[in-house]
Every structure is written in C-alpha cells, then in structure tokens.
Structure 1
Amino acid sequence: MSDTKKTNVRWAVAAVLALSYMVMFLGRTVFSVSGPAIMKEFGWTSAQFGYASTAFFAGYMITMVPSGAIADKYGATKVLIVSLLFSGLFTFLTPVIGVSIGLMILVRVLEGVAQGCIVPGAMSNLGRWIPKKESGIACGFVQAGCPTGSAINMYLAAALLPIIGWKKLFYIYALFFPIWCIIWLLVGKSDPSEHKKVNKAEIEYIHQKPEGHVSVVNANITKSDVMSTPAVWLMCLSYACATYMYFFCTTWLPNYFSIGRGMKISAGATPFIVGIFTYFIGGFVADAASSKLGDKVGRKLVQVIGMIGAAVLIFVGANASNSTVVIAAVSLSYGFLCLTMGGYFSVAPAICPSLAGVYSGLAGILGAIAGVLAPTVTGLVIDAGLKSGATKAVAYGYALWICAGICVIGSVLALVAKLEPITHKSQHEKQLEVN
C-alpha cells in the first residue's frame, strides 16, 4: 500500500462506533417505548415506571470513569466488546427477571452497569483515531447513532409491539449487541498503528498539529490534573444539564406523546430524526468555530446557543395546544439539544487528548446522575400533577418546564468555563498553589 496518499480508515472505525451508539440506544429505549405495555401489565404508576427507568442510570454511573481509564491505558477494544456483550445479555434477561418492580430495578441496574462502558470506550478510541481539527464532526457523527437508534425504535416498536408483545421485543433487540461485536472485530482496532489497512500518511495526518494553534503538549498529564481543572467540572456539569433533558426524552418522550398528548407512539420519532441531522451540524460548527475563534470560545459556542434554544422551544412545546406545534417545538428543542453534543465531546480531544476517556468518564458519570434524576423527578411530577387535578397534557408539561430551566443553567455553566489545554502540575507548582 502506497504511503503517498493517506487512507481514511479512521472514518470506517468512527462509523462502527456510531453503530455501537445506535445499538446502545435501541437496547436502552426499548424499555421506554414498551413503557405503556409494561405499566399496564404490572399495574405500575408513573412514579414506579420512573424508578425502574432511573435504575438503569444508577448502574450506568458506576462504570463510566473506571472504564474510561482502562480504555485510555489498555485500548478500547476489550472494554467495548465486554460492554456490548453484557448489554445484550441483560437486555435478553429483562423480561425473564423483571417480573416485579424490585427485580426489574435490579436487571435495569445491571443493564446500566454494562452500557456504562460504551461511551468512555468509544470516546477514548476516537481520541486515538481522530485529529483535533476533525474531533467535533467525528464526535457528532458517532453520537448521531443515539437518535438514530431512538428514531428506528419508535417505528420498529410501534410495528412489533402489537404483534409479538414487549417481552419478545427484548429478545430480538438482544441480538443486535453480539452482531455489533462481530463487526468491530472485523473493522475496528484500539489504535491506528494496530490496523493493517492504515498507512503511514494517515497516521501522520492523525497526529499532525493544527495550523495556527499552539500545540497541546500534555502527554504526561494525570487523572488528578484533569479532575482538578475547574473548566472540566464546569463543562461536565453543563453536559449533565443537557443529559437531564436528553434522558427525559429517552425515557419519557414516547409516553409524553402517547399518554400525555394522546398521539401515536410513532409521533415520538420526529424529535430523534431531527436530532440525527443536528448532531452532524453541531460537530461541523464546533470544529469551524474552534478554527475561527480558538478553543476558548469555539469549543463551547454550540453548547451555549444550543441549550438556550432547547430551553425556549421545550417550554413552547409544553404550553402549545395544537398537536402540530407541539411536535414541531419539541422536535426542534431536541434538535438544539443534540446540536451541543458534538461540542461537548470535542472538548476532551482539544484540552486533554491523552486522557479523553477520563474526561468522558467524568462527563458520563455526572450525566448519569442527571439520568438518575430525570426519570424519577418526571414520574413524581406527573403523578403529583394528576393528583392535583391537572390534565395529562398539563401534568406532563410541568416536567418539560423543569427541563427548560435546567437547560438555561447548563448554558450559563458553559459560558463561564475557561477552556485551555490542561498541563501537568509539578510538585513544585502544587506546593506554590498550596502556599
């Protein structure tokens, strides 16, 4: 293979990682789209369904940081393979074990533990495969697998649920996970140097220093350096605000349209379809803004704008009475939210590429905490609204108001974060800081 023209294997690897996100969300949202059937069969309240949905994120946060550190040190392949296989196993076991609220909570926790390794593993892998100037679009491309999986689910579940029931739906979805593992073993590697189809020109391109930027020399940074950087926490907390609404949409949006608004469950696909496109747009904008304005401003521009747009539009959707306006406003709100995701995850390659998995793990665990809160708070708010005499649309609308407020907070957190390359602090520097 000639080294004069670079290969583009990195995009094939990114495509397979995008498939892992799609499979992850197929397995994750099958629970939410099956919600009405599960609640009817077991006689659960909205709050009880919220507890079962929350259980996933309680398990999810356990493995986020350690799996990212393991992937950074030993490579992502083993982390991803193990995570996807166990995710498939617990998807299969959900209808077998989850015959009561307590047992359903248990199996959803285990599902969360398994899936908690996927995002840090994938982002660690991208940190090794993608040059900084392409990090935004690469992150957006990979994460577009999330709404793709959710959108497919709205149509697939709507078609299959009346025919085979929710239990068999889980059995079918469990097969997607081992199929992905086979694809990864054929296409993916933990590092470009391990891939036989990657030539020297592509490796040099991946590791090149962007023109007009100060090179980031932080190969020696530690986990402590990352964790002690204020901008890291501000951006990760801002990301947690985004994931509150994101996981509200993942767990409750199908029920919002079908129960709260009396629409067909397939109506819930529209926001996720919009999200597929805005993931890409957000990635392009993050890279372009960084190139024009620098990382300090460019890497957080889409987060600040996207979160405000999401807040305003979700509030409009909560208060609209016309069904077309409701679908349009909620869909555009979700689109603005997804616009931010390429920006959030392109921060790590910009300020700490050697420990992108650690950064992603921290973002993931704070996001998982938001994921724990979103389904539970939503269920409690809906039940409280219904008990007070509110209509279903109004009771669900209260939960959307909360999403709007949290998005505003997330925008402010991103705005005040000072993004700079993380450098290793020597013992002398640390002592000076103490003094």
Structure 2
Amino acid sequence: MSDSKRTNVRWAVAVVLSLSYMVMFLGRTVFSVSGPSIMKEYGWTSTQFGYASTAFFIGYMISMIPSGAIADKYGATKVLIISLLLSGIFTFFTPIIGISIGLMILVRVFEGIAQGCIVPGAMSNLGRWIPKKESGIACGLVQAGCPLGSAITIYLAAALLPIIGWKKLFFVYALFFPIWCIIWALIGKSDPSEHKKVNKAELAYIHQKEKVQAVVMNTDITKSDVLRTPAVWFMCLSYACATYMYFFCTTWLPNYFIIGRGMKISAGAVPYIVGFFTYFIGGFVADAASNKFGDKIGRKLVQVVGMIGAAVLIFLGASATNPTIVIAAVSLSYGFLCLTMSGYFSVAPSICPTLAGVYAGLAGVLGSIAGILAPTITGIVVDAGLKAGANNATAYGYALWICAGICALGSILALVAKLDPIKHRAVEEDKIVKD
C-alpha cells in the first residue's frame, strides 16, 4: 500500500462504532416499545414500569467511569466486545427472567451494567482515532446510531409484535449484539497503529493533534485534574439535563404516542428519524463553530442553542391538540436535542484529549442519574395526573413540561462553562509560585 495517499480507515472504524450505538439502542428501545404489552400481561402500573425502566440506568451508572478508565489505559476492544456480548445475553434472558417486577428490575440492572461500558469505550477509542478538528463530525456520526437503533426498533416492533409477541421480540434483538462483535473483530482496533490498513500518512494525520495540543496543554494531566475542573462539571451536568429528556424519549416516548395520544406505534419512529439526521448536522456545526469562534465558545454554542430549541418545542408538543402538530413539535424538539450530543462529546478532545474516556465516564454517570430519574418521575407524574382526573394526553403532557424546564436549565449550565484546556495541578501551582 502506498503511503503517499492518506487512507481513511478512521471513518470505517467510526461507522462500526456508530453501529455499536445502534445495537445498544436496539436493546434499550425494545423494552420501551414492549411496554404496553408488558404492563397489560403483568398488570403493572405506569409507576411500576417506570421502576423497571429506571433499573437499567442504575446498572448503567455503575460501570461508566471504571470502563472509561480501563479503555483509556488498555484499549477499547476488549471493553466493547465483552460489554456487547453481555448485553446480548441479558437482552435474550429479559423475558425469561423478568416474570415479576422484582426479577425484571434485577435483569435490567445487569443489562445496564453491560451497556454502561459501551459509550466510554467507544469515546475512548474515537479519541485515539480522530483528530480534534474532525471530532464533532465523528461524534455526530457515532452517536447517530442511537436514534437509528430506536427507529429500527419501532418499525420492526410494529411489524413483528402482532406476529411473534413481545417475548420473542427480545430473542430477535439479542442476535444483533454478537453480530456487531464479529464486525468489530474484522474492522476495528483499539489504536490506529495496530491496524494493518492504516498507512503512515493517515497515522501522521491522526497524531497531528498531539503535536498541536502539546503547546497549549500538558499531556500528563491526571484523572483528578479532570474531575476538579468546574467546566467539566458544568458541561457534564448540562449533558445530564439533555439525557433526562433523551432517556424520557427512549423509555416513554413510544407510550406517549400510543397511550397518551392514541396513535399507531409507527408514529413514535418520526422523532428518531429526525434525530438521526440532526446528529450529523450537530457534528458539522460543532466543528464549524469551533473553527470560527474558538473552542471556548464554539464547543458549547450548539448545546446552548439546541437545548433552548428542545425546551420550547417539547412544551409546544405537550400543549398542542392537533396530531400532526404534536408529532412535528415533539420530533423537532428531539431533533434539537440530538443536535447537541456531538457537541457535548467533542468537548473532551478540546480540553482533555488524553483522558477522553474519564470525561465520557463522568458525563455518563451524571447522565445515568438523569436516566434513573426520568423514567421514574415520568411514571409517577403520569399516574398522579390520571388519579387527579386528567386524561391520558394531559397526564403525559405534564411529564413533557418537566422535560422542557430541565432542558432550559441545561442551556444555562452550558452557557456559563469556561472551556479552557485542562492543565496538570503541579504546573498550575508552579506558575502561581513564579508569579
């Protein structure tokens, strides 16, 4: 292979990582679209279904930071393969084990632990493969797998649920996990230097970021340096606000359209289709804004604007009565929300590129807390609304109003974050002494 023309293996790796997100959300959303059938078969209330949905995120939170640190130190391949294989196993056993609310909570916790390793592993891997100037686009490409997985789940569920039932639907979806592992074994590597098809020109292009960033930041920053930085916490808390609504959509949006609005299950796929495209747009916008305004402003601009748009539109979707307006407003709101996601994860390559997995792990933990709260609060709010005499649309609408308020808060948190490159504590203390 000639080294004069740069190869583009990094984008093939990014596509496979995007497929890991797609498969991850196939496993998540199948529980959501099966919600009405599960609640009917076992006689669960909305609150009980919310508890079962929440259980996933408890497990998800447990494995986030450790898996990111492990992937940063030892490479992402083993982390990703083990986590996806275990996710497939727990997806398969969900309808077998989860015959009571207690057992369903247990199996969902274990699946959450397995899936909690996927995002830090993928982001750590992406940090080794993608130059900073392409990080927004790459993050958008990878994360676009999330709504794609949700949309595929809903369309397949609409076709298969009446034929095979909800239990066998889990068996079908469990097959996607080992298939991804085979694809990764053929295409992916933990580091570009390990890949036989990456030539010297591409390797040099990827490693340009290290030469440039070494001028403005220390390469020996530690985990504690990252965790004590206020901007990291502001951005990760802002991300948690985004994930509150995001996981509301993952766990409850199909029920909102089916039960709350009396629509067909396929209507619930529209927001995910919109989100799939806005993930890509968000990546381009994040990189373009960074180039024009610098990382301090550009890396958070899309989050500030996107979260405000999501808040306004989800409020309109909850308040509207016309079905077309409801679908359009909720779908556009989800689109604005997805617009922000690549921006959130492109922050790490700008301020702590050598510890992107740690940043992703912290963001994932705080996002998981939001994921724990969103399904539970939604179930409680819906049941409380129904008991107070509200109809289904109004009761579910209250939950959407909460999403709107939390998204507005997330926009404010991103606005106040100061995105300076993180420096090692010893260097900063030495500078203070000299001054």
TM-score (norm 1): 0.98
Report if aligned partners of 1:132, 1:210 keep a CA contact under 8 Å in 2.
no
Deviations 1:60-98 (A, max 9, x none): 000000000000000000000000000000000101100
Q: Counterpart of 1:384?
A: 384
- Superposition pairs of residues 411-430 of structure 1, within 5 angstroms: 411-426=411-426, 429=429
Residue 235 (str. 1) matches residue 247 (str. 2)? no
CA distance in 2, matches of 1:216, 1:273: 39
CA distance in 1, matches of 2:8, 2:289: 24
CA distance in 2, matches of 1:150, 1:63: 23
Change (3 A) 1:210 1:361: closer
Q: Counterpart of 2:130?
A: 130
CA distance in 1, matches of 2:213, 2:18: 29
Q: Counterpart of 2:166?
A: 166
CA distance in 2, matches of 1:111, 1:71: 19
Q: Counterpart of 1:250?
A: 250
- Superposition pairs of residues 38-187 of structure 1, within 5 angstroms: 38-187=38-187
Gaps (5+ residues) in structure 2?
Answer: none
Report if aligned partners of 1:21, 1:143 keep a CA contact under 8 Å in 2.
yes
Q: How far is the alpha carbon of 1:161 from its aligned partner?
A: 0.5
Deviations 1:207-229 (A, max 9, x none): 21499988443320000000000
Q: Counterpart of 1:404?
A: 404
Report if aligned partners of 1:54, 1:373 keep a CA contact under 8 Å in 2.
yes
Identity across the alignment (%): 82
Q: Counterpart of 1:193?
A: 193
Q: How far is the alpha carbon of 1:428 from its aligned partner?
A: 7.7
- Superposition pairs of residues 337-348 of structure 1, within 5 angstroms: 337-348=337-348
How many residue pairs are counted as aligned between the two chains? 433
What amino acid is the match of 1:237? L
Q: How far is the alpha carbon of 1:260 from its aligned partner?
A: 0.1
CA distance in 1, matches of 2:330, 2:283: 21
Report if aligned partners of 1:229, 1:422 keep a CA contact under 8 Å in 2.
yes
CA distance in 2, matches of 1:402, 1:7: 47
Q: How far is the alpha carbon of 1:431 from its aligned partner?
A: 11
What amino acid is the match of 2:368? A
Partner secondary structure for residue 287 of structure 1: helix
Partner secondary structure for residue 346 of structure 2: helix
Partner secondary structure for residue 389 of structure 1: coil
CA distance in 2, matches of 1:212, 1:78: 30
Report if aligned partners of 1:218, 1:352 keep a CA contact under 8 Å in 2.
no
CA distance in 2, matches of 1:68, 1:211: 24
Q: Counterpart of 1:308?
A: 308
CA distance in 1, matches of 2:237, 2:350: 18
Change (3 A) 1:427 1:210: closer
What amino acid is the match of 1:354? T
CA distance in 1, matches of 2:409, 2:50: 23
Report if aligned partners of 1:120, 1:360 keep a CA contact under 8 Å in 2.
yes
Report if aligned partners of 1:136, 1:282 keep a CA contact under 8 Å in 2.
yes
Q: How far is the alpha carbon of 1:3 from its aligned partner?
A: 1.1
What amino acid is the match of 2:107? V
Report if aligned partners of 1:39, 1:49 keep a CA contact under 8 Å in 2.
yes
Segments of 4+ moved more than 3 angstroms: 209-217, 430-433
Report if aligned partners of 1:225, 1:423 keep a CA contact under 8 Å in 2.
yes
Gaps (5+ residues) in structure 1?
Answer: none
What amino acid is the match of 1:165? G
Report if aligned partners of 1:66, 1:361 keep a CA contact under 8 Å in 2.
yes
CA distance in 1, matches of 2:359, 2:226: 7
CA distance in 2, matches of 1:8, 1:127: 16
Deviations 1:210-264 (A, max 9, x none): 9998844332000000000000000000000000000000000000000000000
Q: Counterpart of 1:21?
A: 21
Partner secondary structure for residue 340 of structure 1: helix
CA distance in 2, matches of 1:344, 1:83: 23
CA distance in 1, matches of 2:248, 2:379: 10
Q: What is the RMSD computed on CA atoms of the aligned residues? A: 1.5
Q: How far is the alpha carbon of 1:138 from its aligned partner?
A: 0.2
TM-score (norm 2): 0.98
CA distance in 2, matches of 1:391, 1:366: 33
